[in-house]
Amino acid sequence: MPVDRKRFKSMDMRTDCEWPEKGKSLSVGDSIEGVYVSKKEDVGVNKSAIYVIRTPTGELVGVWGSTVLNSKMASVNVGQFIAIEFIGMKTPKSGGKPYKDWFVGVDDSASVDETEQELVNELPDPDPVPF
């Protein structure tokens, strides 16, 4: 018997869209900002991370991680107001394949208002315990 999905709240952390949009290339200076609400891990065939950002318009946006972005996001805490900006392609000092580089910043002066904090608190755990 199928589950009545209108009765139950889904525990999946869904996003409204991805950034950058699928199939759209990034330009230097492209950016996103908002409240960092969660991180999904081991997503897709490459076992990537997705950072979920709630923009000032209320959209939940998924940002795919990479080695560089993951490193820069490591010290960012859920609930902080952040900005992620594409700063261009870099070539490793030892040579090799160019990689995307990012600016990741936290606005310590921005306080997450109570309404936004309530929205963050209401989001389901992205890694619910399966029992």
Residue 76 vs residues 63, 70, 122, 127: alpha-carbon distances, Å: 14, 10, 20, 18
Domain membership of residue 83 (yes or no) is yes
Domain membership of residue 2 (yes or no) is no
CATH number at residue 81: 2.40.50.140
33-79 pLDDT, tens digit per residue, is 999 999 999 988 889 999 999 999 999 999 999 999 999 999 999 99
Domain membership of residue 74 (yes or no) is yes
Domain residue limits at 85: 17-116
Number of domains the chain is built from: 1
93-106 pLDDT, tens digit per residue, is 998 999 999 999 99
| Rounded Cα–Cα distance for residues 22 and 25 (Å) | 8
Domain membership of residue 12 (yes or no) is no
| Rounded Cα–Cα distance for residues 86 and 71 (Å) | 15
pTM of the entire predicted model: 0.75
Domain membership of residue 10 (yes or no) is no
